[in-house]
């Protein structure tokens, strides 16, 4: 065992400004977070609608805890399917306007499950270059031929299919609906038409869009007014819905196949019923309180305009994820530290999460923020940047 070699690798990460460590959250209040004894404006959460703290969500989880206790105790197929799991799957299918849906313990596992459950050697998976790590890991684990197209480039995707579609059994195009570190949207209308033309499936990872995009919060398909038939919609319960878990919504045959073949569904304990109950209540709130979504989008408009006015370079301004381009790892982490000192919690994002040379400060907005929070945060940004970031 060469622990020394591990230490060498850790030292190397440090010397390149890539060492990572967790910060402990001590308390949360509205749009603020307490870390290291200090209250800061929280610009690092994907709890877009604030539902993780919504009283109805908390009550639903508590009621399920009282009825069933904490852990599910078994895998779904063995004895771990509770009424909350089934009710949530039915509601997710209705919400996403698909025939059926299946739950996984996390969004990461949902992606692993979908790709490995549907594909094998001899199949083809083609993904956007900036896809989330879980989609890349899933593609690798599936044993299918894995190709990548430049970010958002539908023409290159089509070229890859033209060259490689024949000779492969199934083909799956994989994209995020809203990209988690760039905040921009996939060209879904084009991707849908390419998928049809080449008899490929399209998987849209709507981790950051569920509850947030579209008139009813259904996600990016609703945003682009694309009918959901035949499209595979992955989502997570852990961001806009404020709970924990992942899911796939799609045609019945796909869902039944995953229940029978996806190892991250079969060989793991079912998600706690309280998490499913919380997400189910969150879906009701998404429907009943559209004002949360309106407030969030008003924040996005105000925040992006204000950051540009102080001279910051935004990577995108299409979603509640608003990343500010910096470039070098050291500069990015220095800026994140200065923001922290000033009272703003906004993480620096470095490779390998994003491509080398594109390190950034990722800000994310939620309906828990007030206008005053954002004004205060803006003043901090103005104070710590000279306008040339
Ligand atoms: C695009 C994307 N897909 C999948 C996931 C995984 O979801 P979860 O956090 O529920 O595992 C995340 C975030 O973590 C994500 O950003």
Q: What is the CATH number of the domain that holds 258?
A: 3.40.640.10
- Ligand 1 mean position to 387 CA, how many Å? 32
In a domain, 14, yes or no: no
Tell whether 123 and 198 lie within a shared domain: yes
Rounded mean pLDDT, 232-238: 98
* Residue 141 pLDDT: 98
Alpha helices in 245-289 (DSSP H): 252-261, 263-266, 273-288
Ligand 1 atom showing the smallest separation from residue 132 Cα = 1
Q: Are strands 246-250 and 100-104 parallel, antiparallel or unpaired?
A: antiparallel
Last residue of a domain, one of 288, 311, 341: 288
Q: Is 234 in the pocket of ligand 1 (CB under 6 A)?
A: no
For residue 193, cis peptide bond before it (omega within 30 degrees of 0): no
Whole-Å CA distances, 328 to 10, 179, 324, 360: 19, 21, 12, 8
Q: Is 176 in the pocket of ligand 1 (CB under 6 A)?
A: yes
Last residue of a domain, one of 272, 288, 304: 288
* Residue 1 pLDDT: 66
In a domain, 12, yes or no: no
Is pLDDT at 389 greater than 60 in this prediction? no
E-only strand ranges, the chain? 25-29, 32-35, 38-42, 100-104, 124-128, 145-149, 171-176, 201-205, 232-236, 246-250, 321-327, 344-345, 348-349, 359-364
pLDDT digits (tens, 9 = 90+) for 12-39: 999 988 888 999 999 999 999 999 999 9
- Ligand 1 mean position to 76 CA, how many Å? 21
**Catalytic positions:** 180, 208, 239
Is pLDDT at 386 greater than 90 in this prediction? no
Q: Report the C-alpha gap between 191 and 131 in whole angstroms.
A: 15
Q: Report the C-alpha gap between 104 and 113 in whole angstroms.
A: 8
Mutate to test the pocket of ligand 1, among 180, 182, 220, 278 (most ligand atoms within 8 A of CB): 180
Rounded mean pLDDT, 198-212: 98
Residues 6 or more apart whose CB falls under 8 angstroms from that of 281 comprise 54, 56, 57, 59, 60
Tell me the residue length of the chain. Answer: 389
Q: Is 107 in the pocket of ligand 1 (CB under 6 A)?
A: yes
Whole-Å CA distances, 344 to 136, 141, 215, 310: 32, 39, 31, 16
Tell whether 227 and 373 lie within a shared domain: no
Ligand 1 atom 10 nearest Cα: 107
Residues 6 or more apart whose CB falls under 8 angstroms from that of 155 comprise none
- Across the chain, mean pLDDT equals 97
Last residue of a domain, one of 256, 288, 320: 288
What is the total count of domains within the chain?
2
Are 332 and 344 a contacting pair, CB within 8 Å? no
Q: What is the domain range of residue 155?
A: 55-288
Rounded mean pLDDT, 367-385: 97
- Ligand 1 mean position to 236 CA, how many Å? 7
In a domain, 8, yes or no: no
Sheet order of strands, 348-349 included: 321-327, 359-364, 348-349
* Residue 18 pLDDT: 85
Mutate to test the pocket of ligand 1, among 92, 108, 113, 278 (most ligand atoms within 8 A of CB): 108
> What is the percent of the chain with per-residue pLDDT over 90, rounded to a whole number?
96
A 10 A CB-CB count for 323 gives 26
Q: Are strands 246-250 and 232-236 parallel, antiparallel or unpaired?
A: antiparallel
Q: Report the C-alpha gap between 334 and 322 in whole angstroms.
A: 19
Rounded mean pLDDT, 301-317: 97
Are 173 and 194 a contacting pair, CB within 8 Å? yes
In a domain, 6, yes or no: no
Is pLDDT at 58 greater than 60 in this prediction? yes
């Amino acid at each position: 065992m060469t622990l020394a070699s591990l230490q060498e690798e850790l030292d190397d990460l440090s010397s390149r400004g890539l060492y990572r460590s967790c910060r402990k959250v001590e308390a949360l209040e509205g749009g603020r977070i307490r870390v290291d004894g200090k209250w800061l404006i929280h610009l690092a959460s994907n709890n877009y609608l604030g539902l993780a703290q919504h009283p109805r969500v908390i009550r639903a989880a508590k009621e399920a805890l009282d009825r069933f206790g904490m852990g599910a105790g078994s895998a779904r197929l063995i004895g771990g399917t509770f009424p909350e799991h089934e009710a949530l799957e039915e509601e997710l299918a209705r919400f996403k306007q698909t025939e059926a849906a299946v739950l996984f313990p996390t969004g990461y596992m949902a992606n692993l499950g979908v790709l490995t459950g549907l594909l094998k050697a001899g199949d083809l998976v083609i993904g956007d270059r900036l896809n989330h790590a879980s989609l890349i890991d899933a593609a690798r684990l599936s044993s299918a031929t894995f190709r990548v197209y430049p970010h958002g480039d539908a023409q290159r995707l089509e070229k890859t299919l033209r060259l490689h579609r024949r000779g492969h059994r199934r083909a799956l195009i994989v994209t995020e609906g809203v990209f988690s570190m760039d905040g921009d949207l996939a060209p879904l209308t084009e991707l849908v038409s390419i998928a049809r033309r080449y008899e490929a499936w399209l998987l849209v990872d709507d981790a950051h869009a569920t509850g947030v995009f579209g008139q009813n919060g259904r996600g990016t398909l609703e945003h682009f007014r694309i009918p959901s038939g035949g499209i595979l919609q992955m989502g997570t319960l852990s961001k806009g819905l404020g709970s924990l878990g992942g899911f796939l919504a799609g045609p019945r045959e796909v869902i039944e196949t995953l229940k029978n073949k996806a190892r991250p569904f079969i060989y793991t304990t079912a998600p706690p019923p309280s998490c499913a109950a919380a997400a189910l209540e969150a879906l009701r709130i998404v429907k009943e309180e559209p004002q949360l979504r309106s407030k969030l989008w008003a924040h996005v408009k105000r925040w992006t305009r204000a950051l540009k006015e102080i001279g910051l370079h935004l990577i995108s301004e299409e979603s509640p994820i608003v990343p500010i381009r910096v470039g070098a790892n050291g500069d990015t982490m220095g800026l994140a530290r200065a923001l922290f000192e000033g009272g703003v919690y906004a993480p620096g994002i470095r490779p390998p999460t994003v491509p080398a040379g594109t390190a950034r400060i990722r800000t994310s907005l939620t309906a828990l923020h007030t206008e005053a929070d954002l004004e205060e945060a803006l003043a901090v940004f103005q104070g710590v940047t000279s306008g040339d970031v």
